[in-house]
Structure 1
Amino acid sequence: MGNGAKAQQKRERNQKDQKSAKSQLKTNAAACNIVCSICKQTFLQTSKAPALATHAENKHSKTIAECFPGVQV
C-alpha cells in the first residue's frame, strides 16, 4: 500500500465526521412578518421603528401607521 491509499482513507474518515451546512434562507423568509400594506415589501420581525419610518417616508411619503398598520412602534 502506498501513501495514496492512506490519504484516501483519511479523506473518507474526515468526510463522515463533517456536518452538512445548513441554510438560513427558509428561517429568514419565515421571520419576515412585517409587510408594507402599500408595496407588500417584507421586513424582518426584528426591524426597528427608524427603519420602517425611513421606508414609509422615502418610498411612499406616508407615516408608519399608514404603511404598517398593526405594528407596535
Structure 2
Amino acid sequence: MGGGNGAKAQQARERNAAKAGKGPSSQLKSNAAAMSIQCSVCKQAFQSTSKRPMLEQHVDSKHSKQGFATCFPNYTG
C-alpha cells in the first residue's frame, strides 16, 4: 500500500540529517563579526547593518549631552 506520511517524514529527517552531518549550527560567530559600528563614548557595538535612526535612538537615550557625531564619528550611512 505504500508508506504513509509518517514514513515520508522519517525519510526526510534522515535525508536532512545526512546532508547536515555537522550537527547543530549557530550564527553567533558571524553575528559577532558583523558588529562593526561602535559608540566611541560607551564602546557599545552595533551591527554593520544598523541604520541611523537606531543609532540616534542610542545617542538620545544614553548620551543626550553628546551629539551623534561624538558617539559615531566614522558613521557614513
Fold match, TM over 0.5?
yes
Structure 2: gaps (5+ residues): 1-9
* Residue 69 (structure 2) aligns with: 65
Q: Which has the higher helix share?
A: 1
Q: What percent of counterpart residues are identical?
A: 46
> How far apart are residue 18 of structure 1 and its match?
5.2
Q: Report the TM-score, using the length of structure 2 for normalisation.
A: 0.69
Counterparts of residues 11-50 of structure 1 (less than 5 Å): 14=14, 17=18, 19=20, 20-50=23-53
RMSD over aligned Cα atoms: 1.9
Q: Which runs of 4+ in 1 moved over 2 A?
A: none
Could you list the per-position Cα deviations for residues 11-36 of structure 1 after superposition, in whole angstroms to 9, with x for gaps in the alignment?
xxx38625122110000000000000
State the aligned residue count: 61
Determine the C-alpha separation between the residues in 1 that align with 2:51 and 2:67: 14
Query: Deviations for 1:42-67, whole angstroms, at most 9, x for unmatched residues?
Result: 00000000000110111011322110
- For 2:4, the equivalent position in structure 1 comes to none
